[in-house]
Amino acid sequence: MNKIKIFIKGLSWRQIFLSALVLLCLLCWGGLTAFATVKKNELLDQNAAKRWAEGNDAAQVSCFFTESTEIDKDKIRSFEYELDKALLEASITAPNENARLWADAYSSSGTITLSSGKKSLADVAAVGIGGDFFLFHPVQLLKGSYFSGNDLMHDKVILDEDAAWQLFGSNDVVGMPLNIGGTPHYISGVIRREEGRFHEAAGLDKTLVYVSCETLEEFGKTEGINSYEVVMPNPVKNFAYNSVKEKMGIDENHMWVVENTSRFHLKGLLTVISEFGMRSMNARAIQYPYWENVARGWEDVFAVVLILQILFLLCPSVIVGSALILSWKRRQWTWKDAGHFLLECKDRAADRFHNEKSKWKYF
């Protein structure tokens, strides 16, 4: 402790200031890194690959289509067939008969009218789901359970709290019947909408319900399927991304493909920074679903965080680098002296080890 005090007293005010500045910059960098890591992990819609595979050999890829692009279940089935072929050609097989190599989901956005007895909700925002949608979007359940787009019957509905209270005066409504377009449906679960500035701006500031794609197409208003997602093996970098982009068979002018797994990594954020100004220009007529709008908002935030991280690392690097250069120019030793010093350290360590060993010789 005394040595530390003596060392500090021997420093000039300039050296103390620069040392404090280096420490402050490193603390800020650490704080920003922790903030970004926590927020990235909270974006569950972007982390399906982590939940699907324990290692880093899987990737989540999303496709968003223009309003003029006609996507139906037959098109998706055709893509799934091509995806299986691509995996087989790459010699990627499931570990056992019951294991799945990939999972996918698709969705559409629109509005729908719900009624229960004398109460009704007209033209509420709705997401039509297909496939394993809730694997990719594990919304917070308060009551009940998710349903699958692969279910034989397409009569399940998930309401948010607001819709449940408006229709039934309670959120304990699992199993209760609903009327949609004169056809009975049943409540599978009740969820709590995510909150926050980005979520509200993306459309989660009002009532939202989840129904099957078939229900939304038949009884609601929708432009059809506008997003597709898949989580699949990614043995080499960009394998999943390139496979989806190629096998989907849709022109790039009518589709936007995103690898969710790597979008917040260094390369992805540098791309966001390089597209500053042009990023807001959406030349494609794509209506992004709420989860993608939220992710794009956080991309901008993480890009700013990355710039700050670089600056907070650059400052101490310049200070330490300058100090080393000055120390080198003012050195009063040679490489030969450094060699002798290292040899002395080695001899001292060997002597210390030998002495410690001798203490226990007769025990």
- In this prediction, residues 201-213 reach a mean pLDDT of 94
User: Tens digit of pLDDT for each residue in 297-336?
Assistant: 999 999 999 999 999 999 999 988 888 788 777 766 667 7
Q: What is the pLDDT of residue 139?
A: 96
| The two structure tokens encoding residue 70 | 């006609």
Nearest to 168 by CA among 126, 118, 217: 118
CB-based contact 305:32 (threshold 8 Å): yes
DSSP one-letter code for 98: T
- In this prediction, residues 284-289 reach a mean pLDDT of 85
| The two structure tokens encoding residue 256 | 């936007």
CB-based contact 126:209 (threshold 8 Å): yes
3-state SS of 28-77? HHHHHHHHHHHHHHHCHHHCHHHHHCCCCCEEEEEEEEECCCCCCHHHHH
pLDDT at 338 over 90: no
User: Tens digit of pLDDT for each residue in 73-121?
Assistant: 999 999 999 999 999 999 988 888 788 999 999 999 999 999 998 899 9
Q: What is the pLDDT of residue 93?
A: 86
Q: What is the pLDDT of residue 77?
A: 94
Distance CA 76, CA 8 (A): 68
Note the maximum CA span of the chain: 94
Distance CA 61, CA 263 (A): 10
pTM attached to this predicted model: 0.84
User: Tens digit of pLDDT for each residue in 123-141?
Assistant: 999 999 999 999 999 999 9
Question: Which distant-in-sequence residues (6+ apart) come within 8 Å of 299 by Cβ?
Answer: 263, 264, 268, 269, 272
Residue 217 CB neighbour total at 10 angstroms: 18
Helix (H) or strand (E) run with residue 210 in it: strand 208-212
CB-based contact 60:231 (threshold 8 Å): yes
Distance CA 161, CA 313 (A): 45
Residue ranges of the domains in the chain?
1-42+265-332, 47-262, 334-363
The three-point CA angle 172-174-164 to 5° equals 55
DSSP one-letter code for 164: H
Q: What is the mean pLDDT of the chain?
A: 89
Distance CA 197, CA 301 (A): 12
Q: How far is CA 137 from CA 49, 152, 184, in A?
A: 12, 21, 26
Alpha-helical runs (H) found in 94-190: 133-136, 161-168
Distance CA 321, CA 327 (A): 10
- In this prediction, residues 223-246 reach a mean pLDDT of 94
Helix axes 266-274, 290-329, angle to 10 degrees: 100
CB-based contact 119:170 (threshold 8 Å): no
**What phi and psi, each to the nearest 5 degrees, are found at residue 287?**
-100, 100
